[in-house]
Chain A
């Protein structure tokens, strides 16, 4: 790994670890091994959002050309959000693409991701299905996002109606995750979701 990148990450790592957001358990970053090339990030779902109470794990890969190029970040925890792929965890955020600046840090990235959870940009989606639901059925979107937060990120709020629909499809012999994705995609219409799963 290029020396500049390694030195910089070492210093940043210290910066994040002692920051006040870490002290308040809002963000966290850990080493995966000794190389400083891959890190594990964690952000808390912001209050007053469907992600509240959830903890979201992030894969952070540091390119050799860091800090002149941005870190590669994706969600490891599954999440229902217009700017994050519900399938791959890929993130659509300007500072992780063409608006990265070398003066930014891992802390900036984690706080920006947290801000993205508070303020989605459905007009520039990463996940077109989620974005469509966000715009057309905001209430269903909220419920779905909360359900995913509960199931995958340890969020405290259960969506019992949605859970029973998942259970219903499992009872019909479908895989749990596939059933959840189909139901989420078809606005929790059991008939349409079943049809999709059968096709």
Chain B
């Protein structure tokens, strides 16, 4: 068929259908398979319901909150977490929460980094240059050119808005505008996918399950709402040349949070807080002083 289609787009995803209960299994469970019923739709509807609840209660990028408020999310007897928050309180000034929609890493990263550019312009030209060059990489990987251009241009417009001294509130509003905010997420996802595919030989060693780097990108990077792991963080920070620190707050009984810098031996520009399945933004006292002095009013 490929020859008949002429130039088959390389972007064409690997075909994989989705699963519904198998007949054999169905018989065992005394389950009556009803061909008129769409089981996937049912699961999807349940998912949608949960998503709606999250949309109603969490801002895409929220206000900064104190650690004292964060601590109230945990039960009195939850000593591990309470202790770890106390530890963070010594190192950082406050937290900015993001919506738990599976895109939180990209949104937290995008917001925190652009917010930093508002007050510290040292990285502006380099970053714009990297973003400009990313378009060619992605088009070269076989994505449809006009959709890539669309996401690229919107992303670049937002970067330009920041470097032309938009206000802090304008940046917050941009990230809370679902459409624009999702454009940013999509472009950052594409950058991750592009970098993983470019460096496929290296990243293939870190991919779990029997799948290629491209399959991994199709399944775990490009679709909205897919959560991010070390590999995504490494790819994004490598591709954009931005250094971040992640404070890991999990149930491991260590009294303090562990942190990892991406890349390892770098001096981080922004800090994210990781709690299982979710990323928020952390601000140090030095950050807060910088914002107070330099934020465009």
Within 8 Å by CB of B144, from A3, A87, A105, lies A105
- 12 CB < 8 A contacts A-B: A21-B5, A47-B1, A90-B38, A92-B17, A97-B44, A104-B11, A104-B147, A112-B12, A124-B20, A125-B20, A128-B22, A132-B23
Closest chain-B Cβ to A85's Cβ sits at a distance in Å of 6
Q: Which residues of chain A are within 8 angstroms of B182 by Cβ–Cβ distance?
A: 68, 102
Contact across chains for A102 and B186 when beta carbons are under 8 A apart:
yes
Verify A4–B179 contact, CB threshold 8 A.
yes
Measured between beta carbons, the chain B residues less than 8 angstroms from A86 are 35
Which of A48, A90, A129 has the most CB atoms of chain B within a 10 A radius of its CB? A90
The residue in chain B whose Cβ has the minimal distance to the Cβ of A8 is: B150
Is B90 part of the contact surface with A, judged by Cβ < 8 Å? no
| Contact partners of B4 in chain A: CB under 8 A | 24, 26, 46-47
- Give A125-161 as 1s and 0s: 1 = Cβ < 8 Å from B's Cβ atoms: 1111100100000000000000000000000000000
B224 at the interface (CB under 8 A from A): yes
* B6 CB to nearest A CB, Å: 5
Q: How far is the CB of B134 from chain A (nearest CB, A)?
A: 13
Does A101 contact B17, Cβ atoms closer than 8 Å?
A: no
Residue A172 is within 8 A (CB to CB) of chain B in the complex:
no
Interface string of B1-38 (1 = CB under 8 A from A): 10011111101110111111011001000000101101
Query: Closest chain A residue to B3 by CB distance?
Result: A47
Contact B15 A121 (CB under 8 A): yes
Contact A103 B190 (CB under 8 A): yes
Main secondary structure on B side of the interface with A = loop
Q: For B22, what are the chain A residues with a Cβ–Cβ distance below 8 Å?
A: 128
Taking beta carbons and an 8 Å cutoff, which residues of B are in contact with A?
1, 4-9, 11-13, 15-20, 22-23, 26, 33, 35-36, 38, 40-41, 44, 143-144, 146-148, 150-151, 179, 182, 186, 189-190, 218-219, 222-224
* CB-based contact B224/A103 at 8 Å: no
Q: List chain A residues, Cβ under 8 A from B218.
A: 99, 101
CB pair A124–B17 under 8 Å, yes or no, is yes
Chain A residues touching B, range: 35 or more
Closest to A21 in B: B5
* B33 to chain A: closest residue by CB: A128
In this assembly, does A188 line the interface, its C-beta being within 8 Å of a C-beta of chain B? no
| Interface residue from B26, B144, B151 paired with A107 (Cβ < 8 Å) | B144
**Are A99 and B144 within 8 A (Cβ)?**
no
User: How far in angstroms is the closest Cβ of chain A from B81?
Assistant: 31
CB distance from A97 to the nearest CB of B (A): 5
The answer to whether A26 and B11 touch across the interface, beta carbons within 8 angstroms, is no
| A118→B1 contact, CB < 8 A | yes
CA separation between A92 and B22, bound complex, in Å? Answer: 14
Instruction: Name the residue of chain A whose CB is nearest to the CB of B21.
Output: A128
- A88 to B144 alpha-carbon distance, docked (Å): 31
Chain A proximity of B13: nearest CB distance (Å): 5
Q: How far is the CB of B155 from chain A (nearest CB, A)?
A: 12
CB of A15 to closest CB in B, whole Å: 6
Evaluate contact between B13 and A99: CB separation under 8 angstroms.
yes
Shortest beta-carbon distance from A119 to chain B in Å: 6
